[in-house]
Amino acid sequence: MTSQSTTKSAVTEFPPADPSQAKAHFDSLLAYETDCWDVHHALETGEPDFVLLDVRSPECFRKGHVPGAVNLPHGKLVERNLQQYPPETLFVVYCTGTHCNGADKGARRLASLGRYVKKMIGGIEGWKEDGFSLTSE
């Protein structure tokens, strides 16, 4: 007879959430984030329902950015620079990648201005890792 260990793994140390709570949690995450694949697919259709903002410096933008992105550094996200966009515009922001918090800063600024925003997780590095190319045009 084999004795079963009563020690739990790090995975099961905390029990999983109730499925309805888990759904609410992940619904919430998806209200704040999108990923490179979804952005790429929307851009490829030719009619994205958002404005993609590269919130890095103009120098970084010139070296390479996601095709179709608009460069507006997070420090310059003020209402006067957003006047051309209707209030209901959804902005998707990105920066370099997971080691950069520029997208978070940009998203926070947009939300503070009452603008709709999501962050493209992974940023430029995630975009490249997913096999998508950048442009410098």
60 is catalytic: no
Q: Is residue 22 part of a domain?
A: no
Our count of domains for the chain comes to 1
- pLDDT at position 5 is 58
Which of the residues 36, 60, 95, 100 is marked catalytic?
95
- Over the stretch 18-44, which tens digit does the pLDDT of each residue have? 999 999 999 999 999 999 999 999 999
3-state secondary structure 78-124: CHHHHCCCCCCCEEEEECCCCCCCHHHHHHHHHHHCCCEEEEEECHH
Check which CATH number belongs to the domain holding 105 and give it: 3.40.250.10
125 falls within a domain: yes
pTM, entire model: 0.89
% of the chain at pLDDT higher than 90: 91
Domain extent for 69: 28-129
pLDDT of residue 4: 56
- Inside any domain, residue 137: no
In a domain, 47, yes or no: yes
